[in-house]
Every structure is written in structure tokens, then in C-alpha cells.
Amino acid sequence: MQTSSPNNINYVTCAAGVDRDGYWWSVVETYGNSQQATQFFTLRFQWMNNQPLTRDCTIITNGSNFLQVYLDGTLVFASKSMNLLMPEPFNSYLEVQSTSANNMYVSTYTDYYETQSYLVKVQDVPRGSTVELTAGSLVLSKTVDHHDGDSKGENKGASVVFDIGPYHLPIVSSIKVYNSDHELISSTSGPISIWGGDVYSMRGSEVSHDSGD
């Protein structure tokens, strides 16, 4: 994940390395000039220890102070006080590099995607109700606080937010809303593909995606 500025090559990356002694996984931050990266800072380093050779990496950042990195759904680095100097829009690269001038190497990447956010919002649900996202063994559940809602105190207008950053996307799940007696009162028409940045609204007995979000 790299700045699109032509003046500086600043980026954050998940990297896998291998040499004659073994292999490792790392998270690296760099600063540079218009030609190359010149300063390298290792934020996370893990030597072999039975690590898999293929891993799922998720980078979440605003390009300024906020950075979270997950490997295989496990948070390995988090900070809200970075100085990344990576103004949006970002450039993204998938590449293999080598110190050998005599051999060609190939690496395979799958399931690359970008999302607007790592959050999913479900809004306009009654206070005291519970919203659930269920996908196989994954169950995300949040109950709307009775004090949430609009300023008039009406029993509507509340929302819940789910952090789906740790998970491989899209999450294929139904969104279901239950009342305080755990009776189903609203849901999507069936399982749907949920991405970070999606916003959904409860409209009567149906939960639907807000177009344009």
C-alpha cells in the first residue's frame, strides 16, 4: 500500500522472505524519495516457527496515523500514532523481488481486493434490538443500546457498526434483526456478500443495502 504522490515513495507492506537459512514474514514501513525507498522500519518480524508458506494479509490504514495489519485474521500490528505520509488515493502493488540477476522467480497472489472501510453499518433499527451476521462458524452480534436513537426519543433511528477487518471478504451472510424477546423482526432476503464500507438499513421486515454506499 503506497502513496500516489510522485515526490515520495512511502509505503506499508506485508512481506515474505526466504534465503538459504529459512523463511520469514514481516510487516514493513518505508520512507523514500521520488526514485526509491530509503528508510525501512520493521513493524513485525516472525521467523519460520512452522508458519505457513501462504498467508492472508489485510492492511487497514488512513495513510496518516492509523494502521492495522492482520495475518490470517490475527492482528499483528496496530497503531493510531503513525506518521505514514501517504495521502490518498493509494497505489497498491503485488510483486516478487530477488537479489539474483541470473534467475527469474514467480509468485502467485489470489483474492486481492480493496474496500472503502473495515466497518459495516446497519441503521434504522429499534433500540433494544439485536443485529446478527452469521456465516458458518462466524457469528457477529450487537445489541442496540436503549439510549441510542434520535433526539426525540422515538424507538427508531439507532444503528450498529461491525468491525469486519479481521475476516476474509466478502462475508457471505444474512443480516437479521431480533427484538428483545429474540423474535426475528427483519432480515435480508437471504445470504448476501458483505464488504467493508457497506451500509444497510432496516425498512420494515426487510434489511436492504443502501444504494450508493
Indicate if the pLDDT at residue 143 is higher than 50.
Answer: yes
Cis peptide bond prior to 166, omega within 30° of 0: no
Rounded distance, CA 171 to CA 78, Å?
Answer: 23
User: In the CATH hierarchy, which top-level class contains the domain 119-209?
Assistant: mainly beta
**Residue 77 CB-density burial (10 A; 0-12 exposed, 13-18 middle, 19+ buried):** middle
Sheet holding 74-79, edge to edge: 57-61, 67-71, 74-79
Q: Which amino acid is at 56?
A: D
pLDDT band, very low/low/confident/very high, at 142 (cuts 50, 70, 90) = very high
Residue 62 in grid coordinates: 488512513
9-42 pLDDT, tens digit per residue, is 999 999 999 888 999 999 999 999 989 899 999 9
Indicate if the pLDDT at residue 149 is higher than 70.
Answer: no
Q: What is the mean pLDDT of residues 105-112?
A: 86
Pinpoint the residues of the chain covered by CATH 2.60.40.
119-209
Any idea which residue has 476474509 for its cell?
168
**What's the distance, Cα to Cα, between the start and end of the chain in Å?**
23
60-103 pLDDT, tens digit per residue, is 999 999 999 999 999 999 999 999 999 888 888 888 888 888 88
119-135 pLDDT, tens digit per residue, is 999 999 999 999 999 88
Indicate if the pLDDT at residue 151 is higher than 60.
Answer: no
β-pairing verdict for 90-91 and 192-194: unpaired
Q: What is the mean pLDDT of residues 197-212?
A: 90
The length of the chain, given as a count of residues:
213
Are residues 42 and 116 in contact, defined by beta-carbon separation less than 8 angstroms? no
